[in-house]
Amino acid sequence: MRRLLTGATIWAGAGCVPRPGWLLVDGDRISEVGDAGDSVPEADEVVEASGRHILPGFVDVHSHLTVAAWMPRGGDGAAWRGLGDAVDGVRRVASAAPDAPWLVFWNVSMHAWPEGRLPTAEELDAAAPGRRVLICGIDLHRGVISRAAFEDLGLAATRPGQLAGDLGRDLRGRPTGELWEAAFGSALCRAVADMCAHLDDAGVEEALHAEAGRHLAYGITHAHDPYVSPSMHERLLRLRSITPLRLSWATGSSSGMLTAPDGPATAPTGMYGDAGREVKIFLDGADRCALRLPVHALPGLVGGTAREAWRRRAAGPLREGLRRRVTLRGTQIYLPYLRFGDGELTVLLAAYAEEGFRLRLHALGNLAADQAARALAAAGVPAGAATIDHLTALDRRTADLVAASGAYASFQPGFLPRFGPQFITTGVDRHLVILGGRLLTASGVPLVLSSDHPCGPLDPLQNLRTAVSRDLGDGRILQPEQSLTRSEAVRAAALEAARSLGAVGSGGLSPGQVADLAISGGDPFDEATRIVETWVAGERVWRM
């Protein structure tokens, strides 16, 4: 079947350069791409696409599809404005869902609350006596659970010092219910597993299939989940067989995505969907990211926190600031939240690399990025066999180390409106580059643009625009010199993303390449533009 799309603007070739023209699809491949003045080939079907833009299908290499699938079945805490709202919300859902195995609440941003903290286990118990409750912070690195959940997970017997300080404790050393990193990831993994068990297989499949459909509606033709529990591996293989969405994933610890993986011998065998085997390893956290700053940044950190507390007329920001670990070494200050020692990490990377795994490393701060680059080199990991996620706060020396490691960088410009103001408040943006697309490309790092959905916005068009505009959404532009060009942004969200996975689509809209298309209703960099059609392997699989 030969289908001719005419009258559109085609973001063509390896450079993703937009030009008026036409595109011929023959079966599952692109056969020809022509300019507006070129003669038009014969086709079995002509698709009139006047005014539309045809882009290569987006490849989101960092979308937590298997987490986002459960969000419609939980409570949304995005509108909560403080502890009172949270407790009332838990109480209402507990009454409305008496048989739910867990009461899970998502999208909670306690940083904006006057109290600056989540409810305690005691407060959750008062709102939902005897129920297992999990409240998830917006970054999925932090949350709080009720006493019933705490005991069910076996955390009540955990001694201080275990889980690397991931259990929140009061001044007497008693657990408060607050969880960080590995402890939070374990609770989330257990809650999802119990919700799966509560549904029949058809219900789980429906939830996952619906989330795959949401990706297609945004022009995403390939979604890569950066962590899928080994227990979910077979479900993802089943999902891949029933959805047109190209799908791949990384494995990790059976205890949760933020726990150190158990070693290659415990990982599922075979392909992981539409890409090879991959493992995800967290080197630092989110709020607890590993940073290195010059010592003269300290007054900004302290002063910015104090000013924010004064602006809100609340002690929450001060409480958070005082809990941060900060050390001084010479002329540098460190937020020392690395989750591995250098030698331990190098051994782990080498073990997975020797078994043919691609490596995906979470490194949000420059201290973690530095460790990632050095460990990849020490482990002898080949260029192109690893991706470092986030690289949110960097300096030039660390960017050069990342380039020398040969790793891809997967960054999320969609985080700028959500987290950019925090970097400005504390003055970190005066010392480090925040989500520096230009810094990375100038250093020679192959750049991939992704979402980190549901922590960041799923819509690739929104993320493209922010990568170019650097707009925080409140009239401020953060470090405009870090902007990408439009073609660079499209290339990073599609071609480079596919290449980083070793997947189809790395050649863009060129003859012989797979016909995965994202068709927008107008200029993709116009705020009003939306995706109107998605094609996978030459077939229209979604239409507005």
Interval 386-397: pLDDT, tens: 999 999 999 999
Residue 197 pLDDT more than 80? yes
Q: What 3-state class would DSSP assign to 176?
A: strand
Q: How confident is the model at residue 309 (pLDDT cuts 50, 70, 90)?
A: confident
Which CATH fold topology does 338-504 show?
Answer: TIM Barrel (3.20.20)
Q: What's the pLDDT at 302?
A: 86
- Answer CATH for 66-196 from 3.10.310.70, 3.40.50.300, 3.30.230.10, 3.40.640.10: 3.10.310.70
Residue 160 pLDDT more than 60? no
Residue 163 pLDDT more than 70? no
| Half-sphere exposure (Cβ direction) of 471: Cα atoms closer than 13 Å | 12
Task: Report residue 133 CA to chain centroid gap.
Answer: 24
- Burial class from Cβ neighbours inside 10 Å (0-12, 13-18, 19+) for residue 197 reads exposed
pTM confidence score: 0.96
Residue 310 pLDDT more than 60? yes
Spatial strand order in the sheet of 408-411: 278-282, 358-363, 386-390, 408-411, 447-449
- Residues 349 and 344: their CA atoms lie apart, in Å, by 9
Superfamily of domain 2-57+509-543: Urease, subunit C, domain 1 (2.30.40.10)
* Tally of CB atoms within 10 A around 44: 9
Residues in the chain: 544
The domain limits of the chain are: 2-57+509-543, 66-196, 291-335, 338-504
Residues near 59 by Cβ (< 8 Å), separated by ≥ 6?
220, 221, 222, 224, 246, 493, 494, 497, 498, 501, 503, 505
Residue 313 pLDDT more than 80? no
The helix-helix angle for 342-354 and 366-378 (nearest 10°) equals 50
Residue 101 pLDDT more than 90? yes
CA distances from 43 to 27, 130, 511, 526, 533 (A): 11, 65, 16, 31, 20
Determine contact, residues 495/507, Cβ cutoff 8 Å: yes
Residue 123 pLDDT more than 90? yes
213-239, pLDDT tens digit by residue? 999 999 999 999 999 999 999 999 999
Q: How confident is the model at residue 319 (pLDDT cuts 50, 70, 90)?
A: confident
